[in-house]
Amino acid sequence: MYKNYLFDLDGTLLPMDMQNFTEHYFKSLCKKASPAIGIEPQVLINSVLGGLKAMSTNDGVENNHDVFWKAASSVCGKDLTQYSELFDDYYKNEFEYAKRATQVTPYAKKSIDYIKQHGGRLIAATNPIFPKVATYKRLEWAGVSPDDFEYITVYENSGFCKPNLKYFENICEKCKISPNDSIMVGNDVDEDLCAAKLGFDTYLVTDCIINRNDRDYSKFKHGSFENFYDFLTK
C-alpha cells in the first residue's frame, strides 16, 4: 500500500472518448450561452479554447480561474465574467448532456473504497481546467463521491496544469505529502506519467489511453482499470 493515491478523472475514473465528450460539452454550452451572450457559437468555442490554452501555460501567479476568464474574454471581445451566473447554471444543469459521452467502470468505486478501507489518502488530481461544480459533477458521474477525496484540483484552487511538474509539487505542498510514498494513476502518457520525474510511482490506465506522441510506456506500470484493481489488492 502507498500512503497517497492521486487519481486522474477524465478517461481514468470516468471512462470517455475525449473528442466525443468535447463535442457534447460544446454543443450544450453553446445552446445555452451563445444566445444569452449575443455571440456566435464558434466565437464562444474559440473563447473557451483560448482560455484553455492560457491555463495550460499558467505560471501560478494567478489561479486558473482568473487566467481562463481573462483570456476567454479577450478572444471574444466581451467581459464574460459578467455572465458567471449563466455559466454556473449551465454546469449545474445542461452540462448533464455531456454525461452521455462517458461511461462507468465498477473498478473506480471498488478501488476508492478499498483505499479508504485501508487508510490511504485520496486526491483527485484531474487537470484543473474546469470549475469546482463541473469537476464534482464528473466525479459523481464516475460513481464516486467528491467526499471520498481529501483534495480535488479545480481551476479555482490551482495555478498550474499538467504536465507542468509544479502542478504536482503544489499538491505535495498543500496536502503535505511526499512523492516517494505516493502513486499517480492516470490515462495520459504525457500528463500523468511525468509525475515519475518527481519520485511518484505511476500507473497508466490504458482503457482510454491518451498517447499523443506515441511514446513507449513499457517501463511504467500499466494495464486496464481492472488490472490496476488487481495490482492494488494483491
Tens of pLDDT along 87-110?
999 999 999 999 999 999 999 999
* Residue among 141, 202, 185, 190 at smallest CA distance from 16: 141
**Grid cell listed for 89:** 447554471
- Extract the residue ranges of the chain whose pLDDT is less than 70: none
Structural domain count, the chain: 2
Q: Looking at the structure, do residues 193 and 224 belong to the same domain, yes or no?
A: yes
Q: Looking at the structure, do residues 81 and 191 belong to the same domain, yes or no?
A: no
Is the pTM higher than 0.85? The answer reads yes
- The pLDDT score that the predictor gives to residue 49 is 98
- 232 in helix, strand or coil? helix
- The pLDDT score that the predictor gives to residue 206 is 98
Q: Which domain holds residue 84?
A: 19-99
- The pLDDT score that the predictor gives to residue 1 is 84
* CATH number of the structural domain spanning residue 173: 3.40.50.1000
**Grid cell listed for 13:** 475514473
Dihedral angle sign, alpha carbons of residues 73, 53, 133, 22: positive
- The pLDDT score that the predictor gives to residue 144 is 98
Q: How many CB atoms are located within 10 Å of the residue 126 CB?
A: 25
- The pLDDT score that the predictor gives to residue 157 is 98
State how far the alpha carbon of 103 is from the alpha carbons of 16, 136, 142, in Å: 6, 16, 7
Cα–Cα distance, 234 to 218 (Å, whole number): 21
**Grid cell listed for 157:** 484552487
Q: Looking at the structure, do residues 216 and 161 belong to the same domain, yes or no?
A: yes
Cα–Cα distance, 24 to 155 (Å, whole number): 21
DSSP result, 111-146: HHHHHHHTT-EEEE---S-S-HHHHHHHHHHTT--G
Q: Looking at the structure, do residues 149 and 89 belong to the same domain, yes or no?
A: no
Last residue of a domain, one of 99, 118, 137: 99
Query: pLDDT tens digits for 40-70?
Result: 999 999 999 999 999 999 999 999 999 999 9
